[in-house]
Each structure stands twice: as C-alpha cells, then as structure tokens.
Amino acid sequence: MQPTFIELAGKTIVGVAGNFIGVMSPQANAQEVIGALWGRLILRHKPLPATTYGVITLIADKNSMTHQDELRYIAGFEADESAPVPDGMEKITVPPGRYAVFTHKGSVMDLPQTVRFAYGYWLPRSGSKARNVPHLEVYDERFRPDSPDSEFDILIPV
C-alpha cells in the first residue's frame, strides 16, 4: 500500500471531542472512544454533511495526559471559520499543506492494521516526517460503516 499525495486547503472543523489512546499502544482504546464520539455527533447533528472528518491532535497540556500515547480526537464536519461553536463542541483549524493519503478499505474494525502500516512502517521508511499539525480521517460517500466495501482516507501531514 502506497500513499498518494495532496495539497490540502485549510479547513475549520467543528465537532465533539475526547481523548483516546492510539492504536500503536498495547493499551489502545481508540475504537471504543472514537466510536462513542461519532455516536454523540450523530445524535447532536442530524443529518450529517456528506463529508465528515476525524481530526487527531497531540494533547496540548502534557501534564493533563493519563497515558504517554494519549491523543485528542474530534468527530466533526467542516464549518465556516466565524461560525459559533455549539455548547459541548470544539472548533479546530487545520492549516493548509501537503498530506500523504492512505485509503482504508473494509471494516473500521480493521483500521488498526492500516494505521500501523502508515505510521509504523511507511512513515519511518519514507524519508518524510509528520508535521506537528492535525492529522485527518475523511469520510465521504465511499464510507459505508456496515459494508466490507467501505473506504475512507487517512491523511498524514508531511
């Protein structure tokens, strides 16, 4: 599996957020936490736009971390930069830049294998370095959560 590369325009994402332990850790809880965040977003904002985003960031306050592999996730959608943020939601700006795009195919239950390949195998061998900006998951019309033919993109800022 090799990535494609894109230049992404900046985006403002609004959504529900929480901390999780990434899939590269033996104590990973990403699927449970992230699944619950999407459930909360769906309950709060119906219908969802055709394209939604998972935004992954480092924890800003290292002293607040409960685990060394803890990250922040926002399940959300693109919004106008000046739009007010509804109670219980967060807004994040994703700067423009170059991204390596990996397409995950199949069930979200198999996502850890794609993430481990992209971050644990490809990135260290690619000669690229991940930028310290949000990483993205892009869910569009190809994403069908209950289908083995489902697809969505993982964008690594490089």
pLDDT in tens, 20-44: 998 889 999 998 999 999 999 999 9
Pairwise CA distance, residues 44 & 17, whole Å: 13
Residue 97 confidence class, pLDDT cut points 50, 70, 90: very high
The region of weakest confidence among 87-91, 139-143, 144-148 is: 144-148
pLDDT in tens, 61-73: 888 888 888 999 9
The pLDDT assigned to 109 comes to 86
CATH topology for the 4-157 domain: Multidrug-efflux Transporter 1 Regulator Bmrr; Chain A (3.20.80)
Cβ-in-10-Å burial (0-12, 13-18, 19+) of 75 comes to buried
Q: Where are the domains of the chain?
A: 4-157
Three-state SS at 92: strand
* Residues near 45 by beta carbon (within 8 Å), at least 6 away in sequence: 77
Residue 12 has pLDDT above 90, yes or no: yes
The pLDDT assigned to 10 comes to 94
Report the pLDDT averaged over residues 113-136.
94
Report the pLDDT averaged over residues 97-104.
97
Report the pLDDT averaged over residues 44-59.
93
Pairwise CA distance, residues 118 & 133, whole Å: 17
The answer to whether residues 23 and 116 touch, using CB atoms and an 8 Å cutoff, is yes
Does pTM surpass 0.75?
A: yes
The region of weakest confidence among 60-74, 80-94, 129-143 is: 60-74
